[in-house]
Structure 1
Amino acid sequence: MARKRREEPGDNHERWLVSYADFITLLFAFFVVMYALSTVNEGKYRVLSESLVHAFRNVPVNTASTMTQVAPPPLPVVPKNATATAATRAQEAAKQKQREKMRGMAKDIMEVMAPLIEQGKVRVIETSRGVTIEINDSVLFSPGQSVLQPPLVKAMRAVADVIATTDFPVTIEGHTDNVPIKTSQFPSNWELSAVRATTVLRLFSDAGVSAERLTAIGYADTRPVETNATIEGRARNRRVNILIDSAAPEKGKELDLDASEKR
């Protein structure tokens, strides 16, 4: 009798679906992870970062290990205004030295002009700018004139000798009262005050004071120190001031027209 042939199970043509399903699952998981990484919560990330920094800064030393944590030495704390304070102190020291030098020079001038100071014809005044020597014009010039009177030439040369030993800028100011003058030489008080200041300047220059330090200005009657309503006041206003400046004039900076328009 013939034996029946056992039927072999047929080939499964659907097995590829298993691999495909696994691939789709992995691909989905991959995109989920990528999406999660791309949507980091900034607040939680900052908290995590600060926590990690704090934790690593306070890691205790492991006594069982050969490695130890060595903390770096603290950096020296330098006040922000330390440099400015040192510069300010240096400037103050330099100013104090200038003031002492100025007062020493003023003392020498007062000794030279002592007789006229006692008569009230000369005043030595200390100001914020320096020292001012105020000389009544009656001892320097005849009324309406700009030629120095001979008795005062020697005294003024002595003052110039003291000033010549320093390097302070010197400004010579001519002042008048409000009584008008009109002559062929001086049409107004402006010319009279300016020429008187220039006369003293020339004497100082001839006596050895550097010309670069000298300036002459005529103010006429625009800078009175007393009222012009009295004889005494007008006599006080007719004067020559010798201003010895404690500081050299600053160098100017030219302004840029284009830059000023942009502002």
Structure 2
Amino acid sequence: MAKPPQPIIIKKVKKAAHAHHGGAWKIAYADFVTAMMAFFLLMWLISMTTQEQKIGLAEYFAPAAPSPTTSGAGGVLMGTVLDKAGNKPSAPRDAARGTTGQDDKARPTNSGRASDREVSRPAAGVQANYSAIASLRQALQKMPEIAELSRNIVIEPTKEGLNVSLVDEYGRTMFPEGSVQPYERTRLVLEALAPTLRRLPNQLSVAGHTAAARPGSVQAVDSWSLTAGRALAVREILSGAGLPSNRFVSVVGRADTEPLFVDNPYTPPNRRVTITLLNAEPPLPPGVIP
């Protein structure tokens, strides 16, 4: 006797849908991952950058801060002066002398005027330096063909005046190795600076420097002759661009005696030619005894 066919039973299990959790956490997680990636990229760049490259970057992004007024109260510096200690508010005349107004009345007139000069002359020099920095940078910005050399041009105020240095960098030099004649790009930089230097009243000093020779290496050219020749070449280019010869007070080669980085005298940025705009004493008012 044949068995009757068994029915096929299909069991369907209905799963309950989970509640919607939202996607806000995904956005927050993506922001977190992006921030961490940017942080580690920044740390990697900092670790791969040398000290002289950091200095060059800081100099490149340092804003020029000339004040269009004589008082400085309404300009970019907001009535402050800059020195080696940082940005400090300019002290009143009495505080700069360390005395009170009553003490000044008891002092002789000539003594008070001499103190006024001591306070005003440094302020005038700082103001003139910042104006010169702005003029020189503006002259360079007008020539986009030398924009790649921005890291090779270092402009900084010093005690003697304002230094404009043509500095060698890793992978980019201003003079061929062992030669006193500069590259054409270096000549373009000097010719771009010459009109601004001619308008400024400062006397000029040109000094050539080089890096120290590593122990065991042999120099093909004497460093004294090399740095002196490069300084003379810079002076000749500036003179040919219209700068009067009587504006130069000295043209010297200093070899490796004054490294830019004392802790690493072998690094390429020690090879440089520096044009110094020397500070000038402001004229004394009539009747003032120096």
* TM-score higher than 0.5: yes
Alignment partner of 1:127 out of 151, 158, 162:
158
1:234 and 2:267 matched: yes
Residue in 1 aligned with 2:13?
Answer: none
1:171 and 2:205 matched: yes
Shift in CA distance, 225/116, structure 1 to aligned 2, threshold 3 Å? farther
The letter of the residue matching 1:226 is F
Q: Retained in 2: the 8 A contact 1:139–1:152?
A: no
Alignment partner of 2:167 out of 126, 129, 136:
136
Alignment partner of 2:253 out of 218, 228, 235:
218
- 1:84-112 alpha-carbon deviations (Å, 9 max, x no partner): 21233145434433432222111121233
**Cα distance in 1 for residues equivalent to 2:262 and 2:114:** 45
Residue in 1 aligned with 2:185?
Answer: 151
Residue in 2 aligned with 1:194?
Answer: 228
Give me the TM-score of the superposition, normalised by structure 1: 0.56
In the TM superposition, 1:1-263 aligns within 5 A as 79-90=106-117, 92-113=119-140, 119-137=150-168, 138-179=172-213, 180-182=218-220, 186=221, 188-214=222-248, 215-226=250-261, 233-247=266-280
**Cα distance in 2 for residues equivalent to 1:174 and 1:131:** 16
The letter of the residue matching 2:209 is H
Alpha-carbon RMSD across the aligned residues, in angstroms, is: 2.7
Residue in 2 aligned with 1:25?
Answer: none
Shift in CA distance, 104/117, structure 1 to aligned 2, threshold 3 Å? farther
**Cα distance in 2 for residues equivalent to 1:121 and 1:196:** 16
Shift in CA distance, 103/143, structure 1 to aligned 2, threshold 3 Å? same
Q: Retained in 1: the 8 A contact 2:129–2:157?
A: no
The letter of the residue matching 1:134 is S
The letter of the residue matching 2:275 is I
Residue in 1 aligned with 2:286?
Answer: none
Q: Retained in 1: the 8 A contact 2:207–2:275?
A: yes
Q: Retained in 2: the 8 A contact 1:228–1:234?
A: no
- 1:8-61 alpha-carbon deviations (Å, 9 max, x no partner): xxxxxxxxxxxxxxxxxxxxxxxxxxxxxxxxxxxxxxxxxxxxxxxxxxxxxx
Give the structure with the larger helix fraction.
Answer: 1
CA-CA distance at 1:173 after TM superposition = 0.9
CA-CA distance at 1:175 after TM superposition = 0.6
Largest Rg, 1 or 2: 1
In structure 2, runs of 5+ residues without a counterpart are: 1-104, 282-290
**Cα distance in 2 for residues equivalent to 1:94 and 1:120:** 32
Q: Retained in 2: the 8 A contact 1:99–1:246?
A: no
In structure 1, runs of 5+ residues without a counterpart are: 1-77, 249-263
CA-CA distance at 1:117 after TM superposition = 8.3
Deviates more, 1:151-160 or 1:79-88: 79-88
Deviates more, 1:113-122 or 1:86-95: 113-122
Count of residue pairs brought into register by the alignment: 166
- Local SS of the residue matching 1:243: strand
Q: Retained in 2: the 8 A contact 1:193–1:218?
A: yes
**Cα distance in 1 for residues equivalent to 2:192 and 2:269:** 23
CA-CA distance at 1:123 after TM superposition = 1.4
